[in-house]
Structure 1
Amino acid sequence: QYEDQIRNTLAPTAYLWDQVNQVTAEVLSTIDTLEKYKQQAGSIDAYLAKFQDVNYYRSSPCFGPNGCTEEQMQALRQSQTAGSQAQKWANDAAIKGIELQQKQLKQDADNLVKLQGSVESADGRMQAIQLANQLASEQAAQLMQIRSLLLAQQAAEVDRLQADANKDAMAKAAHEQAIRGQFEKSDRIVW
């Protein structure tokens, strides 16, 4: 019985804990597009204000018959540039996230093989429980990695949709202005 107690208090010979903090930090820094938006515009609200709806563009002098100032035209150009940059950043983040995950996948597979081998040769309940905890930790880390990839994908899609909506709003306002006829009654001429 004493021998059984000793065996059941032994820890695994090696801990194969995943490096959750390191992996999470790498993934988050890779896909953190919101921080880039804040740096670019000063705040998320300032960044979002660069994108408008069709009503904004309908009332903009740039889409009217009299034209607009250079500052107003520059604001329109910045809106288009912001949309393009956002799409680029989000796409870059998604690709970097995929690259990081491909590298991590090999290491995760190796850790899983080691854990499985250790579980099979576990000497006692305590060692088996600790190895099971390591396996659970690996699974939690992988779930966080999946979430980060989904977040990167969602950011890329939202950026694309936002830029498209802004572009469509501009196009609708321009189209309405182009087909809007203005009738001015001529002076009556008597011959």
Structure 2
Amino acid sequence: MTTSRRQFFGQAAAVSAGVAMASPAVEAIAAAGPPGGAGLVEVAFKVNGERRKLSIDPRVTLLDALRERLQLTGTKKGCDRGQCGACTVHVDDRRVLSCLTLAATLQGKEVTTIEGIADGDELHPVQRAFIDHDGFQCGFCTSGQIMSAVKIVEEPAVRTDDQIREAMSGNICRCGAYPNILEAIKQAKGGER
């Protein structure tokens, strides 16, 4: 028996509606976590200079802890597989992909997110350069791009355009703002505007 296109889409709509109706229940169960807090671990670390302590499931990523537990939503969840760089943050002054980093491994460490690089109302030089050179379009990858660029600007061995491109290769911009990002990084490194 063959299925018509109309029947196929009708069945797909019914399945989608069933999933959508079940989603709130699934989310409530997931939010509740393990019964009685069993299996949770305590982890204390600094985030943007502020000491934070969390009781979390050991499988929680740093990305999810930042966004869902600490409400620091500047770090974006792009691919959730370590391939796009949108979730880049600094841990102990090194750039890391927060979607691949377990929060439970951060005991005593220092995390810096996009919310923590400005000095009050004064933007970080990399943030200012991204604005000056329009180094973003949709903006989804921008926080990860900036967090990577901050470390590249501090790296004296990265000087040429090709070296900057190579150092930034882990950060994908689906809009293709790469020429502007390159110019922003060069400005922040002290190159020509």
User: TM-score, structure 2 length as denominator?
Assistant: 0.23
More strand by share: 2
Task: Compare CA radii of gyration and give the structure with the larger one.
Answer: 1
Q: More relative contact order in 1 or in 2 (CA 8 Å, sep 6+)?
A: 1
More helix by share: 1
